[in-house]
Structure 1
């Protein structure tokens, strides 16, 4: 598969939110290209369904995930200790393109596969200590449209976006400090969605 992505659209929309810096590139990848990348990642990544401890009992997370990055990069969240697998050519090319667009540096990516609308991600912030004080999180969506909800941690402010195939959402600055986000269940959604969140983890 040719992993050079030439038809990238850099039109953007700034999302106005207090205490946040959020930009959406609605069609960063063209639809056909996004479909090809999704199919390739589904076939080639080392997917797993991890178990976390929730309210004193062990439960499987409602999605599949994979963790890739530079050698030796480790990431801990929700009691999970993840050790990065080596970059695949597709992931490395996507990382390079996202870095060129955002002028940020990334050394890892957490990839989530929502198999249908029953898979989800609960409220959280990407604010683990190893991500630093003002992390840049670049989130690429492939596949089915899904709702992406955000809520402020201390004031009555919220935001909801629909993230479609090929869209890239970039969160910077104080966003993770002041905001949480989630991907809720949507039982009517029958198709799958893959989401890649590029980040820099301090070694």
Structure 2
């Protein structure tokens, strides 16, 4: 039974839903511990304005196929889904009635780890992609801003065990980020499930 209340973000040009307690606190903590320990974390370099920097978080890619995923001049090759990720994926798929192919896993170690303004609009995600984002660990603020209307902004605290779903035209019109914070925050693991399309 799905126990969490759905909070629909009433944003122009977007379709975003938030489920604060999608996983129980016990489930979320167990998943956090397992993923933290069984993932082969990597820190890729990213290029920003011609300069190369270590990405300010650790990542890993998992999929049910061998399709790579590219963003910010990084191309990631997928690992096979773990049993843990398959359990999480199955629960999300039961709720959304959508079959996801791929999961990008991010580890934000401290408040200094972040993700810059971006949209999940890579070609291989197709038009109007559905992104299901799960948070385990320390809550972090998820910032949204409209591409054209600078007055349209939103900030949402993504909590331990929560699920955020972005779909429809959201990625065409909105950018999102996890900003750095000077607060002393504990590690956060974020799973973003997506569908990699067949290109060509």
Give the Cα–Cα distance (whole angstroms) in 2 for the partners of residues 57 and 106 of structure 1: 34
Specify which of 183, 186, 189 is matched with residue 181 of structure 2: 186
Residue in structure 1 matching 2:120, options 123, 126, 131 = 126
Alignment of 1:111-190 (within 5 A): 111-155=105-149, 156-190=151-185
Q: State the secondary structure of the residue aligned to 1:188.
A: coil
Q: How does 1:14-33 map to 2 (within 5 A)?
A: 14-33=8-27
Residue-by-residue CA offset, 1:117-152 (whole Å, 9 max, x unaligned): 110000000000110111000000000010000000
Q: Specify the alignment match of 2:191 in structure 1.
A: 196
Q: Which runs of 5+ in 1 are unaligned?
A: 1-6
Residues 8 and 29 of structure 1 are in contact (CA less than 8 Å); yes or no, is this contact kept in structure 2?
no
Contact map agreement 1:67 1:110 (CA 8 A) in 2: yes
Contact 1:38-1:194 within 8 A present in 2 as well:
yes
In the alignment, what sits opposite 1:4? none
TM-score relative to the length of structure 2: 0.96
Contact 1:24 1:170 in 2 (8 A): yes
Shift of 1:70: 1.4
Distance 2:47 2:54 in 1: 9
The answer (yes or no) to whether the contact 1:144–1:189 under 8 Å persists in 2 is no
Deviation at 1:14, TM superposition (A): 0.6
- Structure 1 residue 53: deviation in Å? 1.4
RMSD, matched Cα: 1.1
Post-superposition offset of 1:189: 2.9
The aligned counterpart of 1:3 is none
Q: Of residues 96, 107, 112 in structure 2, which corresponds to 1:102? A: 96
TM-score normalized by the length of structure 1: 0.94
User: Which whole-Å CA distance do the structure 2 matches of 1:180 and 1:145 have between them?
Assistant: 20
- Mapped to 2, the partners of 1:102 and 1:17 lie a distance apart of 20
- Contact (CA 8 Å) 1:142, 1:167: kept in 2 or not? yes
Q: Report deviation, 1:186.
A: 1.2
